[in-house]
């Protein structure tokens, strides 16, 4: 597991209203961090694996996503796929700093060294 990515998930990505965040690396390993008990790490990992399948499914239907956002009554799940196959997932509460800044967080994710 890469320390830089883990550190960014634990501290760099933190924002008010962020329930949890995680990455799925191209080799299918997951790094997740929970900021709220309703969003434990192991469940984020499951979400990440499912979203990886969804991304593949959408791409096969000619809908290669740059971003997915699943909106629920009490929160959103965002997915940002990177060209190298890495995925970032963010679970946020609505109308919070985290929800408003998902693009900035994704920008940082994209700027992290793809080899990490």
Partner 1 sequence: MNAPAKQYQLLFVDDDGDFLAMIRDFFASLGENIWQIHCATSVDQALELLKVRQIDLVVSDVNMPMLDGIQFLHILNRSHPDLKKAVVTSNATEEKRSACLAEGAELFIEKPRSPEGLRSIFIMLEELITWTPREGFQGVLRRVGLQDVIQMECLGRNSSILEIHNQQLRGRVYIEDGRIIHAQADDLAGENAFYQLLSLPSGEFQLHPFELPAKRSIDGQWEFLLMEAARVRDETMAAQASATGPVPPLETKPAFESSTTAFHLAARVEETLICSGQGEPLYAWQCPDTSARVALLQNMAQQAASFGQLIPLGNFDRLEIQLTGSRVVAQARADRLVFVRVSTGGEKSATQFR
Residues that bind partner 1 in the complex, under the rule CB under 8 A:
19-20, 38-39, 43-44, 46-47, 50, 54, 57-58, 61, 63-77, 80, 83, 91, 103-104, 106-107, 110
Place of tokens 């191209």: 26
Least separation in angstroms between CB 80 and partner 1: 6
Beta bridge partners of 24: 30, 87
**Dihedral over Cα of 83, 87, 92, 96: its sign:** negative
Least separation in angstroms between CB 105 and partner 1: 9
Q: Identify which of residues 67 and 116 has a Cβ nearer to partner 1 in the complex.
A: 67
Least separation in angstroms between CB 71 and partner 1: 5
Please, what is the Cα angle at 33 between 63 and 86, to 5 degrees? Answer: 35
């Amino acid at each position: 597991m890469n320390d830089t990515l883990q550190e960014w998930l634990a501290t760099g990505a933190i924002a008010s209203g962020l329930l949890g965040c995680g990455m799925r690396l191209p080799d299918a390993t997951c790094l997740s961090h929970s900021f709220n008990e309703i969003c434990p790490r192991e469940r984020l990992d499951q979400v990440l694996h499912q979203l990886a399948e969804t991304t593949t499914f959408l791409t096969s239907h000619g809908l290669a996503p740059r971003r997915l956002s699943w909106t629920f009554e009490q929160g959103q799940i965002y997915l940002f796929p990177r060209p190298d196959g890495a995925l970032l997932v963010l679970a946020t509460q609505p109308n919070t700093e985290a929800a408003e800044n998902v693009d900035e967080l994704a920008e940082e994710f994209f700027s992290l060294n793809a080899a990490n």
